[in-house]
Each structure stands twice: as C-alpha cells, then as structure tokens.
Structure 1
Amino acid sequence: MARHLIASVGTSLLINWRKASQSSARPEAEELTGWIANQDPKSASAETNTLMLLDAGKNDCITFIHSDTLEGELCARVLSSHYETRCRGAEAKVAKGLGRQPKSFENGLKEMVQVVKDAETAAAAAGNTPVLCVTGGFKAQTAVLTAYAMLKQIPAHYVHEDATGLLTLPKLPIAWSTSTGSENSKFFEVLDDAEATAATKAGIVKAHQNLEDLVIRDEAEVPT
C-alpha cells in the first residue's frame, strides 16, 4: 500500500550546508535546493537520511511539518521541492507558534498535532498508510509525536545522529479512553461551535480544567 510519510523538520539541512560552504549566511531556497540535489541523502540532513532508510519513492507522498521560524520554513520548503519529483507529491506545513518563544511553544505543539491529524485524515481518504518520521525538529516534538503515534497505532521511525540504521519505535498497548469524549461532550460541542462567544468558550474551559491542555489558544490568550 502507498504511504503518506509525515516528517517533522529541523534545521540540519541548513547546518550541513553552512559547514560545507563555510558560511554563516542563510542561503536562498534555490541555492539550497541545488546543493541538496548533489548530496548523499545520508549526510545531507536528518530528514533525507531517514527518508532514504525508509526507501521513500514514487508510491509515497510526504508532508513536512516545520517550526514557525525562518530557518524551519526554509528547510521544509527546500525538502518539499526536492522530493516533489522524487515521490508522488510533497508539501510543507507550518506548526503555527512552534518556535523559540516559551509562551507560544506549547500552543505550537498543539498546532503540530493538528497538522498531523489533517495529514492522517488525508492519508485515510486516499487509501494510504500514514507513517510518522520523528527524527527532525525540537526534542519536544519527538516526544509528542511519539506519544501520538502510540495512541493512534501509527508506525513511527527515528534515526539517532550516532546510529547507523533506522529505529522503529515500538507500539505500546495504550489508547485514548473513549469515555473521555462522551463524559465531556458539552466541552467539545462548545469549542466546536462557531457561533459560541469567546466568553462562553472561556467558561467551558474553566469548568473543565482537566482538559485545558487540549485547547489551542489565540496568541493574545497565551500567558506571558
């Protein structure tokens, strides 16, 4: 079955380019795209190494999820361009708020999970198998994506910088309790209601503090 590879993206591509070119500058996307095309996937970046070990090819499509930073966006855009003709399709998606600012980082992780869910939904609609590649990005991303993969029973793969092969993360016998949704149906109904006021939504969140961490907040609501 064809796969939909969902890969978190870090900045190793940019770091490796800087080492090779002995430059601290940020290259244009076209220059970085030309450079990666002439590199061994094993050494070009963490993402290309992982995808090489997964034997990514014409039957696969890829979603690259990047941080809300200029460097992350550049690397994801170049990777997407590089694999667009090497696979069935490739796209770059941002996890809004995911960056170096602590006050927005937690929200960014929730946004990242939403991007993964959207890609998983697209995979199911197309009859593809979703596969997570969690090598790139912040360490916290790896932890969250691994937990998500275990809950959803999705294959997840990782390549440690000192390892020579692909690590397939084990599927653990854990699952999301279905009773959580039924017992807190009002909470989810209000949050999904486009006509509910901000005050109404704030009230339902306050009344369900045990579920507060599931809420993606507007930037203005993120505490400083």
Structure 2
Amino acid sequence: MDISASTVLVTGANRGFGRALAAELLGRGATVYAGARNPDQIDLPGAKPIALDITDPASVQAAAQATRDVTVLINNAGSATGADLLTGGLDDIHLEMDTHYFGTLSMVRAFAPQIAANGGGAILNVLSGLSWVSFPEVGAYCAAKSAAWSLTNALRLQLADQNIRVAGLHVGYMDTDMTASVTAEKSDPADIARIAIDGIAAGSYEILADNASRQAQAALAGGVPAFYPQLT
C-alpha cells in the first residue's frame, strides 16, 4: 500500500501512541484525520482534527458523515481503568469493553463501507500482548483486548473480499501517559508507530512490534503451563 496516497483516520490522536501514529503518517505524506473527544487538543500541523468519541454511536456516525475519503482506519483509542474482574467496578469493566471492543466494532461498521467505496484499503486495530496473556490486576483490560483480537480475526475474513485488509498490532508497554506508573521496560511510541505503518504498507495481517508480543505469541501453543506456571 502506498501510504503517501492514503487518507487515514486515527482515533485517540491527541496524545500518546495515537499522536505518534498521526505524526508518522504525516511524515510519509498521508492525509490524516486526527480523531479526539476534544479536537482542540490536536496540535499536529497538517492533521485534520475531527471530534470523535468511539464509545458514542452518534459521534461515530457523525465522523463517518464528515469524512468521505478515508482509505485507512487505525483504531487506537483506548482506556486503562486498572479494574480487576472480581473487585473492580462494573462501570470500569464496561468502559474497557465499550472502548476496546464495542468502540472498535462501531468504527469498523461505520467506516468499512467508506473504505470499500474508495476502492479498498486497510484497518489496523491496536491490540496488545495482553490480548494473549492475562494479569488479574488488570483483568478487565486484558479481557477487552482479547475480545478485540477475536473481533479482528473475524472482520479480517469478512472484509477481505471488499479489498480491505484488517491487521492487528500487538505491542507491550509504550512510554505514554497511560503507562506512567509502569516501571517495566517501555518502547518509544515513535518507534512502534514506524513499525505499525511499515506493517500496513507491507500488507501484514499481524504486526508484532516488540519482544514482549513475540514471546506472548510463541507461548500460545504451550497453553496454561506456558502462561500460568503457578497453576501447574
């Protein structure tokens, strides 16, 4: 795919990884719609701010009506409530699912027809190594990312005959506001953005951006003993 000839909508583009993605795309000559709840927060020269709350179906539809030329959709907007599944607030758990699963699905349902009408293109869902392994202390986030991985696999098959390639980006911790309290090794969002856009350009279905995601994928065949040795 020729990124310079693409029109890309990035959700959650006002900060963190979304901003890094938008900056990388602009640097490659793409036309970029930068989605954010508050578009006034978009500070990238050349980006086209657009009001977008992916958890609000009306906002999603309004964004689709306002953009008719999108050929690439990047579902990046996320949440991280820190809720566990047994003691976390149900509102927080719902928010994780509403953002990572239902919000992503709403965006795809709204924009896939537009992408197809423009001759096809790509959708990238920003997933995680936690799509494959769960930590109880952030169980709601892990469950939502796992659901988003399943969604990605299903949509990849359904949209292939419309010339829309659906990719998943798996990555561990990045150095963003969302991981400010994390002391583990973190990647530079700009580096991961470059890897992600390279993957879209190459037509990849699955993009493993760091060692953490590669190790998690490799452990899948090992089942419970590989991921949760304390249980065995």
TM over 0.5: no
When Rg is computed on C-alpha atoms for both structures, the one with the higher figure is 1
Q: TM-score, normalised by structure 1?
A: 0.37
Greater RCO (CA < 8 Å, at least 6 residues apart): 1
Q: TM-score, normalised by structure 2?
A: 0.36
